[in-house]
Amino acid sequence: MMLVGGSLLSAIILFIIQKRMFVHYQVQTASAAFIMAMGILLNELFDRLEAVSPVISTAGCFILTASWFYIAIAVLSTVRNRKFYRSHMEAPLNIFAAGTWIASTSVVLMALHHRFPLYTKAFEVMQLLNWLLLIFYLAAAIFYMKNFRVNRFYTEAHGIILLMTVSIQSVVIANSAFFQEGWIHSIQSVLYLSGTVLYLIIFVLLLNRYVRLKNWTITEDWKNTNCIIHGAVSITGAAGILSGTITMKWAAALWVAAGLLFTAVEIIECIRAVKRVKRYGWGKGLGVYHVSQWARNFTFGMFLFFTMKLNGQLDGFLLIIHDLIVEVGPWVVGALFLIECLLFVNQAIEQYSKTSDKGLSV
């Protein structure tokens, strides 16, 4: 467990350095989406990375865990400084981004469980704490959802709300690894069903927002987080398989649904990209970093993860598509992750060169 201790120490040192050198820096609520994106990639390729070089998988696990500790320390510091509400709940829809905290915790625990199976009991305790965080998060998010029909939040709804489903199903997946029996295992179906029902409700809400409301443009009002429309279906399918809640036939049907939604949403994204390039040029149209872009890395990775869990369940044309995704998918997900890292580094360099008085946005 030296890796965990070293990760914690590194996170503390990084936080101290950041506080001294970047006074106005603030970790955004959705920053943990980076951990989700990296974690799903690491968990998918764990066996392959171990076969190539254990050092690579160890380094990846170290960075993942250190990043989680750093964001946790940063969030807790806002509680200590009495800035938690202003930082993470005051802005419209920002509370929903806290779903990345639950999902990222599930991802990190799964990664650590892969590498340190002897310490499962310690990870189980962490997962129970993740349960408590999920309960508080859902209570706050549902309270905010009541505002949608009575104020302007309703017209601004986008895919970030689906992090409610993602957070629930991430806990279901982690539960399937840590709790094979007992009361938690017995309520897996209820938890899974609640996440699924929430998805359907939110999906209707988003349809209503984009179909019925006419005063929106694809370049400005279609958000990066809308890729969670298909990502939430993918994680729902994967959670159903790993928890044994649904049959493989139902899982295959969900995979087809996820694939169709993936195609539809990403076609819209391509149209949006073309329009943004025409309007702003390549640099400002596509080359600008934003924290919400990690959602795409996660959703692409989750669709690949779901696809890999369906091995042997498809035939004909669907099997061809399945095998193609399994073969090419890791390269695509890895390339997207690298591109996003480069965009962040480029933004960090630009902001640092302009002034040391402004913080970076992770």
Instruction: Find the range with the poorest average confidence among 136-145, 189-198, 211-220.
Output: 211-220
Looking at the predicted structure, is the pLDDT value of residue 233 above 70?
A: yes
* pLDDT computed for residue 358 by the predictor: 47
Among the listed residues 232, 223, 278, 281, the one whose alpha carbon sits nearest the alpha carbon of residue 258: 232
**Of 175 and 208, which is predicted with more confidence?**
175
Looking at the predicted structure, is the pLDDT value of residue 271 above 70?
A: yes
- What is the C-alpha to C-alpha distance for residues 99 and 141, in angstroms, rounded to an integer? 9
Within 8 A by CB and 6+ apart from 41, the residues are: 297, 301, 333, 334, 337
Q: Which residue is it, tokens 């890729």? A: 227
Considering the chain, what is the average pLDDT of its residues?
86
Name the DSSP class of 81. Answer: T
* pLDDT computed for residue 79 by the predictor: 84
* pLDDT computed for residue 84 by the predictor: 82
Name the DSSP class of 360. Answer: -
Do residues 35 and 69 lie in contact, with contact meaning Cβ atoms separated by under 8 Å?
no
Instruction: Find the range with the poorest average confidence among 90-99, 149-158, 176-185.
Output: 149-158
* pLDDT computed for residue 49 by the predictor: 65
Percent of the chain with pLDDT over 70: 91
Sign of the alpha-carbon torsion through 143, 145, 146, 151? positive
Q: What is the pLDDT of residues 119-165, one digit of tens each?
A: 888 889 999 999 999 999 999 888 887 766 655 566 778 899 999 99
Do residues 202 and 161 lie in contact, with contact meaning Cβ atoms separated by under 8 Å?
yes
For residue 217, the SS3 value is coil
Q: What is the pLDDT of residues 314-359, one digit of tens each?
A: 888 999 999 999 999 988 998 999 999 998 888 777 766 665 544 4
Looking at the predicted structure, is the pLDDT value of residue 25 above 80?
A: no
Q: What mean pLDDT do residues 18-41 have?
A: 82
For residue 72, the SS3 value is helix
Backbone region of residue 112 per phi and psi (left: phi > 0; alpha: psi in -120 to 50; beta: other values):
alpha
Number of C-beta neighbours around residue 358 at 10 A = 13
Looking at the predicted structure, is the pLDDT value of residue 283 above 90?
A: no
Q: What mean pLDDT do residues 185-210 have?
A: 90
* pLDDT computed for residue 213 by the predictor: 76
Instruction: Find the range with the poorest average confidence among 187-191, 196-200, 262-266.
Output: 187-191
Instruction: Find the range with the poorest average confidence among 80-84, 87-91, 217-221, 275-279.
Output: 87-91
Looking at the predicted structure, is the pLDDT value of residue 210 above 90?
A: no
282 exposure class (CB count in 10 Å sphere: 0-12, 13-18, 19+) = exposed
Q: What is the pLDDT of residues 26-37, one digit of tens each?
A: 788 888 999 999
Backbone region of residue 182 per phi and psi (left: phi > 0; alpha: psi in -120 to 50; beta: other values):
left
